[in-house]
Copies of this chain bind each other. A is one copy, B any other.
Amino acid sequence: MSHSKPASTAEPKDAVVLTPDPLDFTALINCSRDPKAGAISAFMGTTRDSFQGREVLSLEYEAYLPMADKMLREIMAEARHCWAVHHVTIGHKLGHCPVGEVSVVIVVSAAHRHESLAAVEYLINRLKDCVPIWKKEILGDGTGQWKENEPSRELRSDISPQVPSED
């Protein structure tokens, strides 16, 4: 229920969900609700149907899980250092993500709106920059290409079983 009440005022918490199941953004937003929060900001990344003029059918995500979890918690700590936020929740889908489906959810609650909005923007930018999650675009012409950020490239050279194939 999207209008359920926060049950209690909890200590500020960080939550990370990395899952092959569809992301339930309602549940992730409700995780960050709190009577002490006047503001909840959320970002949801969804699979877009095109990239640079080419049709996209779906995305595939793979992660180096121990490092992805560690890095997500590090960037949450960075956000807490910069802004007075309450609860922070990050969810990322792994595996197949067809057009329109939510692949990433970032939710931050805070007493005031500016802090929650600024922290959400910081977190999605940092996630894209430094969390080892690989993305493959499956294109309408039958081809596909893996995209990776800098730490993913570094990890690829170290952790061969985690390197996705190009097929």
Interface string of A1-20 (1 = CB under 8 A from B): 01101100100000000000
| A143 adjacent to chain B (CB < 8 Å) | no
**Count of chain A residues with a beta carbon within 8 Å of a chain B beta carbon:** 43
Residue on B with the closest CB to A32? B44
A45 touches B113 (CB 8 A): yes
Residue of B5, B29, B98 touching A100 (CB-CB under 8 A): B5
A29 touches B25 (CB 8 A): yes
Indicate how many identical chains form the complex. 2
Q: Which residues of B contact A24 (CB under 8 A)?
A: 2-3
A101 touches B46 (CB 8 A): no
Task: State which residues 72-128 of A face B: CB under 8 Å.
Answer: 98-102, 111, 113-114, 116-117, 120-121, 124
A42 touches B44 (CB 8 A): yes
Q: A39-B46, A42-B43 are in contact. List 6 more A-B contacts (CB 8 A).
A: A9-B49, A33-B46, A35-B100, A38-B46, A39-B45, A43-B113
**Can you pick out 5 interface pairs between chain A and chain B where the beta carbons lie within 8 Å of each other?**
A29-B42, A33-B100, A36-B50, A38-B45, A40-B46
